[in-house]
Copies of this chain bind each other. A is one copy, B any other.
């Protein structure tokens, strides 16, 4: 066996993050409209996306700023309804249908599975727990904790922590420039997943069958 450890990305790799984020934001805006927001959902959505872009995804007051931009002023009732609806959808995230089988197949091969993800550690663990996948992984490497975003240094630090040569580690993810290129640069094997099948592998299960 050449590969010993497999690093796996979360968003877009284990579950359809963009789809859930969009659904959660729409649900939030519909709830806000029901509880007193005057603007219609589709105009509000456009403004919200600009706020998210400007403030970043981890900012705590997107809805307040959005209401301000819409000229609506303060409305705690609508904001509370929005946050509630947003979390309800977020709470319901589920992995892609092949994920559990793919992780099982890799574990059966004796591979040690780790999360390798960019973002806030508590938020990323929350996703793993919500999907009920925490028992599949030995641990997680998250950019916030490593102190560096996905880059050759990020992957080098992981090798150091695993006390393992890069050539014995594989990385799986859905983004060429974050998951594949920097990992390959330091000598890891890297697998690109593209569930739309344009390039790379069509599913995690396909990768799971290859890696060893």
Contact = CB atoms under 8 A, between A and B. Distances in A.
Contacts of A83: 122, 126
A35 B137 CA distance: 12
Contact of A122 (B80, B87, B126, B128): B80
Contact of A129 (B81, B121, B125, B145): B81
B84 A130 contact: yes
Give the copy number.
Answer: 2
Contacts of A80: 121-123, 125-126, 128-129
A122 B76 contact: yes
A interface secondary structure, majority: helix
A38 interface: no
A142 B74 CA distance: 13
Interface string A75-106: 01101110110010000000000000000000
